[in-house]
Structure 1
Amino acid sequence: METVAYTEKIIEIDGFRIAIKIWGDQSGTPVLAIHGWLDNANSFDKLIPLLSNDICIVAIDLAGHGWSDHRTQDTSYYLWDYAVDALKVIEKLGWKKCIILAHSMGTGVASIIAGAMPNKVTKLIFIDGLGAPFVVEEENIVTEFRKSVQQLKMARKTKLYGFSDPDVGYFKTKEEAVHDRMDNVIGKISYDASLCLVERSLIKVSQGYRWRFDPRIVLSECYRMTEQQAQLFIKNIQCETLIVLGKQGLFADGMYTSRIKQFKNATVHQIDGGHHLHLEEAYRPISTYINQFLKI
């Protein structure tokens, strides 16, 4: 993997801090990189060094992830909220429009922005993601709401999912956390890929290490999009879209093929790799596809 210098920065928006990593000349074509669920801005560390020198990439830690602030207890982590945050970051950076590079849940955030504000996005790049990752059938909305409320109440009562005292460690060593991350999130990942993400997801406490992310993001939201809503955002995307799916990823069995049909102008590639293929060896062919697509 090539090494390219980047800058760490904190953007404050209405008193809320969003952590970002900036690669490249800030006068270059702007690209916003949005990671997936339980990941962070390090998600693109292997890929970015191989991309064009004529772009400026800003990778963000979504709220509750990485080094960004956690939301207050009276607010939630919905895709809509992440989309609003991203739009505020774009505005704060002084960008009138940009390209969005997204993985997994990040493609759900990107689809909302590009579908609702097509003038803000010039091109989209989706890596093993096709919009909103978690949807609910309309007839199950009431049931899922009830389950979500009960799950949060139970997690707080039993101190599960990181709801324990903030000084309680879940791992004695960082190595334990790396191995836990390899097996216990969507799609297994390699040691190196896990280490890359863990470096930004772990916090040292007196009793060892614990996850830095807000434990609430592990739980189901009270309200999720329906499949019809997810496709409606995709249907309203106007720009060119590059979609790279892993043959062993979430869409290996043809899941959501109906969504691909909703894109007006999409190029789709399927290559060997799992859900986090951009953090594995596939980052090299992916970078080639992206550079060809951007043509900068």
Structure 2
Amino acid sequence: MTDPEKSNECLIDVSKIDEISYKLDDLTLAAIACGNKDHQPVLCLHGYLDNAASFLPLMQQITQERNLLADKYVIALDWPGHGHSDHRNVGAHYHFFDYVSDLVALFKLNNWPAIDIVAHSMGAMVASAFAAAFPEKVKSLTLIDSFGFICAPVEETTKQLRHGVLSRIKTVKSSRSFTEDTAVKARMNVSDLQIDHANLIVQRSLVAVKPELNRKTAEEGASTLYRWRSDSRLRTVSLYRLSLVQGQQLFSDISCPLQLIYGDKGMDMVNTGLEQYSSCITNLTITKLDGGHHVHMEQTQELSSLLSEFLSKIKTSV
């Protein structure tokens, strides 16, 4: 895809990273993994409109330093509708709590015991709700640049419902095709991603258009054309939001050791979340790093060390 000479693209040794998948009842979830599959899993969950590739730099760091998480099998999942995972069935939508159900099905399929979860942004919110509702399944929880939930005042319930339903009516699957460079620029325009990190996420988010169209563009000297893999229904608005009281109640039921790692130039919701939710948690470790919302892609050495230390402490305390 993108020519590495045109950017500072990360050089990821994919020979040490496996493509895997999980067949649930109604859809197949794709994932990438590194390490010994016989070891206990560490499940990594990405953010909204990202995919498993957002954890590739961390996996690269882990495979380079053999003493880091050497006894773990690190799995980065593509959420439904994202990356290489299936889209939800016709007529279905992407309700927030449905992602919690997906995790329950995934754990049941693999017969996983309580495991460690590392989660970014939207993935962190889903993981928080999962850890609250199913504490027996979560050994520890590391949240990356996300703390709490997206909430709304109860007075806005009707407005939220109307907005959500209308967004579904307007949603039309785009047939527009574009070059990879265009896709990378579009992704960077709506995030703080560095170009090499945007490349990683975008490459897993694209699918080439029909061969006959690509032959035509090749004859004309143009680049291969792509479309987004992600489900257009992901962009619809939620029909509901939790109230702050509901969000705090959920957070108060998280009983596992909890670690927050966030960027000093990351999302404002982290500082707001700390004000609104930290009093609900008794076992919380907080680390602020130099970086933005995708700090886990920027500060892989620091993150992997923090993660290794955090999990080691949990192991010795058990």
Q: Give the TM-score taking structure 1 as reference length.
A: 0.90
In structure 2, the gaps of 5 or more residues are 1-10, 63-67, 214-224
Is residue 14 of structure 1 aligned with residue 21 of structure 2?
no
Q: CA deviation at 1:294?
A: 0.9
Cα 1:2–1:288, aligned 2, differ >3 Å: closer, same or farther?
Answer: farther
SS of the counterpart of 1:39? Answer: coil
Alpha-carbon distance in 2 for matches of 1:265, 1:289 = 16
Alpha-carbon distance in 2 for matches of 1:252, 1:289 = 22
The correspondence of residues 260-271 of structure 1 with structure 2, limited to 5 A, is 260-271=278-289
- Amino acid corresponding to residue 264 of structure 1 in structure 2: T
> CA deviation digits over 1:40-93, x for unaligned, max 9?
111111112324111011211101101111112322212211111112112212
RMSD of the TM alignment (CA)?
A: 1.7
The range that moved more, 8-17 or 38-47, is 8-17
Which residue of structure 1 lines up, in the alignment, with residue 40 of structure 2? 29
Which residue of structure 2 lines up, in the alignment, with residue 160 of structure 1? none
Contact 2:119 2:143 in 1 (8 A): yes
Q: CA deviation at 1:188?
A: 1.3
Q: CA deviation at 1:193?
A: 0.7
Contact 1:105 1:131 in 2 (8 A): no
Which residue of structure 2 lines up, in the alignment, with residue 241 of structure 1? 258
SS of the counterpart of 1:223? Answer: coil
Which residue of structure 1 lines up, in the alignment, with residue 170 of structure 2? 154
- Amino acid corresponding to residue 290 of structure 2 in structure 1: D
- Amino acid corresponding to residue 146 of structure 1 in structure 2: R
The correspondence of residues 36-185 of structure 1 with structure 2, limited to 5 A, is 36-49=47-60, 50=62, 51-132=68-149, 134-156=150-172, 163-164=173-174, 168-171=175-178, 173-184=179-190
Contact 1:127 1:278 in 2 (8 A): yes
- Amino acid corresponding to residue 28 of structure 1 in structure 2: H
> CA deviation digits over 1:174-198, x for unaligned, max 9?
11111111112xx311100100101
Runs (4+) off by over 6 Å: none
SS of the counterpart of 2:207? Answer: strand
Alpha-carbon distance in 2 for matches of 1:209, 1:226 = 40
Alpha-carbon distance in 2 for matches of 1:124, 1:147 = 33
Q: CA deviation at 1:94?
A: 2.2
Identity, % of aligned positions:
33
Which residue of structure 1 lines up, in the alignment, with residue 204 of structure 2? 200
Which residue of structure 1 lines up, in the alignment, with residue 272 of structure 2? 255
The correspondence of residues 271-286 of structure 1 with structure 2, limited to 5 A, is 271-280=289-298, 282-286=299-303
Alpha-carbon distance in 1 for matches of 2:124, 2:301 = 20
In structure 1, the gaps of 5 or more residues are 157-162
Alpha-carbon distance in 2 for matches of 1:252, 1:286 = 20
Which structure dedicates a bigger proportion of its chain to helix?
2
- Which of 1 and 2 has greater Rg? 2
